Structure 1
Amino acid sequence: MDQTIANTSRIVLVTGPSGAGRSSAINVLEDQGFEAIDNIPLSLIPRLIEGDGAQLRPMALGIDVRNRDFSTEGLLELRRVLAGDAARSVDLLYLDCSTEVLARRYSETRRRHPLAPDETPTDGILREKAILEDLRGRADILIDTSELSIHDFKAEMEGWFARAGAQGMAVSVQSFSYKRGLPQGLDMVFDCRFLSNPHWVPELRPHTGLEPEVAQYVAADPRYSPFLDKVRDLSLLVLPACVEEGKAHFAIGFGCTGGKHRSVALAENPADALAQEGWRVSIRHRELERRGQPAAGPASHTGKASE
């Protein structure tokens, strides 16, 4: 399979529960210059981009659970194979949405859910989310459309996928737990387990690194500020070079034991600092997402696109 896939500059694999915005995402990517194809079977993708005549135009491929050969394992394996070519950038974009909002959308359109044609839409939504759970946790980019207007959604998509030469490279800063392994697609990883752990403070244990008292506790460690300074300096050295290389997306990960306290508090600070330097930054806290907490979005001081 590896030998039949030709070079393509960028491939975005778009998936997520039905009704979360996959078709809208495909349309936005097409407007950004991607060759876009929706509802494509996994088995056809290698043949689509193989051969000497394959174009270097970026591709956006919509993948649906209704496809006859769909499986989470198959999609993850396809991403692994495609990403095996160092000249190719491959992103798994997962569009998420709350069950309540999806059910409302189905009610408003009077459509039946494809996985529950004779049941309630909620039955199909829950069934589909269970199938896609592993993909959600291993996505390179996650966008929750629950509270986004169509205009906000378009702006979020353009922030991630605008051409690097036109609007700058998108930077993702993520926190995670080492117990669950590294997130896919990280370009730089920093281990935060050397810092003081709020888990051992009973009054802080139930809280997260997003809350001031936890962030202040982590920041009180004398190693915190020097570490952040070095991370910031290294990032500002590397990011412009990545733009020169034509990268459109760069991901930085911060890991700790549980992904709840130290890595979350750490990720928030450099994300904000890079945004103030003019980089377009989004933040994702993987383990908080697993607990159903709001954990993904733009940095609080999203800067203008870097040049």
Structure 2
Amino acid sequence: MGEIFDINDTAKIPVGIAKLDGQTDLPAVDVPEIIIITGMSGAGRTRAGATLEDLGWYVIDNLPPRLLPAMAGLVTAQSGVKKLACVVDVRTREFFQELMGILKELDDNNTNYRILFLDASNEELVRRYESVRRPHPLQGGGRLLDGIMYERNVIEGLRLRSDVVIDTTTMSIHDLARKVRNLVTADGEARVHLTVMSFGFKYGLPVDADHVADVRFLPNPYWVTELRHLTGKDEPVRDFVLSIDGAQAFANQYVDLLSRIVNGYERELKPYVTIAIGCTGGKHRSVAMAEEIATQFGTLGLPVRTIHRDLGRE
């Protein structure tokens, strides 16, 4: 268990899970997108919602089902909200009983939505609740397991309607985040965003840098009279810096090294990475090198922006 599966592919379905006719995985669709996150309490709905929020989705937790059509109506290609995720579960108590009727209403209105259902074994759910010392929302005055079994009966019909079921029994919260991210991220879509920043050491190190490179090993264009008034964004300075023996090789090898590291950041769910390139004043060498490194990362298909923190401070 602990695997994500396409319920149209019986080869991927874990033992004990039946194929559900007419249901699909979460395919890439044109915006706007709506996902309803539901499932067993303690199975990871909050983490799934947080993962989508980190990916730029507008996430609403503990939404009463009656409000689903209104929220769906706000999601249009023209609005600021193009990707909406709603966490709907039994915490809404009697309102949850309306959910199946609300889903039919969404279907009648041709609303494009998908249901992501999170599940876990009873034993694992008991362990998780006991570790945080909180009661199950349907436990009442009974045992924890009574609440879990009651919830299973209440949401079984919803589970059968779901597009994707994720069993989180053996998953860590990071495993679940990776699975959710992979579901909604199209193949080839970048998951790490790079910022390449130039800076001057005399103004201090950038506090938010993940990697810092020092290019003060290169001759300083400041001491070349015709280049002193220019910056690393100007072609004469750029050509001067990159023509220095070892400069272009440094840029090439640095990008090659960091491109491998970026793959690790993607795997470890770090979506934003800042690379800082420093020289003495942040005007010539670091600016030219930052521009070159950013250009090379761009050719690799990564979203990258360039910031020159100290340009103009001298």
The bucket for the TM-score relative to the shorter chain is 0.3 to 0.5
TM-score by length of 1: 0.47
Higher relative contact order (CA 8 A, sep 6+): 2
TM-score by length of 2: 0.46
